[in-house]
Amino acid sequence: MTVENVDKPVETSSFAQPTRVQRIVDHLKREWQIYAMLIPLVIWLLLFLYKPMYGLQIAFKDYSIFRGITASPWIGFEHFHTLFGSEQFVRALRNTFIISFYTLVFGFPMPILLALMFNEVLNQWFRKSTQTIVYLPHFISSVIIAGIVITAFSPSAGIVNTVLGWFGADPIYFLTKPEWFRPIFIGTGIWQEAGFQSIVYLAAIAGVSPTLYESAVVDGASRWQMMWKITIPSILPTILIMLIIRIGNLLEVSFEMIILLYQPATYETADVVNTFIYRQGLQSGQYDFAAAAGLFNAVIAFILVMGANSISKRYSRTSLW
């Protein structure tokens, strides 16, 4: 008896696996409503964020508003050489980093502390009332905020000088003294934005599993210990993400508030890159020179974001991408 070994062909499925393109097409057909909702946002991004990038080339040209961007002659990096040799720009860059650094040191922890304190308040009425009070300044116009600051620090009728007068001190012209501008500006920014920014951290705290706190209570942990051992570690990824975004915005000092509060007497400590660009571009009409300063500002911000994201990803495994 012989056994014949016959190689039989392997039966293949009659249903071929869809290709990557087919899967994408099927997904688009199935979820087309969601992508249709994205169309207005994509159009807005293209028109108002990407299309203006075409104008960045005037930073490398001797731009004339009558010739237009295309006909203006190319001069390379001449504006950047002039920029780095300008004492006003160097001063503005230094002031920008100093103000941003102190804002980061004193302003970044404040929303976190507010969120932690709100989380510990048990009385719901008191909690909601306090949150409303600290959120309110964010919704007030910068012009009104600047008016409040100017009035409060007025040498004649300001509440600050009035209180100082009770102790026999002479009135101080706060907003005309360079040494006082940074503390006033940074303090105003913290008062205006800290409450609203705490919403992000309150949302992160709300996502912490209640079972962690229940287990801690069973183990006899106090509220202080639960905050340090459970709450803060749980929201640490959110804190790091917000820190990366904040570092990327180091050069984006509140332009409107500085314009409203500063004056030539305080340029020494108040002039920043954005106000320098405003004066050179809009007031002096040097659009190409201002574009060079703005492009430099954007490149530095990009480097800061990339660096902060890389460091965070390497040491904490938390990053934006």
pLDDT tens by residue, 156-204 = 888 999 998 898 888 888 989 999 999 999 999 999 999 999 999 999 9
Q: Is the predicted pLDDT of residue 15 greater than 60, yes or no?
A: no
Q: Which amino acid is at 182?
A: R
Q: Is the predicted pLDDT of residue 17 greater than 90, yes or no?
A: no
Neighbours of 106 (CB within 10 A): 15
> Whole-angstrom Cα distance, residue 170 to residue 262?
23
101-270: CATH, from 1.10.3720.10, 2.40.30.10, 1.10.390.10, 1.20.1560.10: 1.10.3720.10
Q: What number is the average pLDDT over the span 13-18?
A: 60
151-186 in b/e form (b: 16+ CB < 10 A) is: ebbbeeebebbeeeeeeeeeeeebbeeeebbbebbb
pTM attached to this predicted model: 0.80
Q: Where are the domains of the chain?
A: 101-270
Residues 6+ apart with CB under 8 A from 267: 91, 178
Tens-place pLDDT, residues 46-81: 999 888 888 889 999 999 888 888 889 999 999 999
Helix ranges, 78-228 (H): 78-84, 87-107, 109-120, 124-135, 142-152, 159-166, 178-206, 210-218, 223-226
Whether residue 251 contacts residue 273, with contact meaning beta carbons closer than 8 Å, is answered with yes
Minimum mean pLDDT among 119-123, 213-217, 317-321: which range? 317-321
Q: Is the predicted pLDDT of residue 39 greater than 60, yes or no?
A: yes
Structure confidence at residue 101 (pLDDT): 92
Structure confidence at residue 249 (pLDDT): 81
Structure confidence at residue 253 (pLDDT): 83
Q: How far is CA 164 from CA 154, 184, 253, 261, in A?
A: 12, 16, 30, 22
Q: Is the predicted pLDDT of residue 1 greater than 50, yes or no?
A: no
Whether residue 113 contacts residue 199, with contact meaning beta carbons closer than 8 Å, is answered with no
Tens-place pLDDT, residues 208-232: 988 998 899 898 888 888 999 999 9
Structure confidence at residue 16 (pLDDT): 61
**What average pLDDT is seen over the chain?**
87
Q: Is the predicted pLDDT of residue 4 greater than 70, yes or no?
A: no
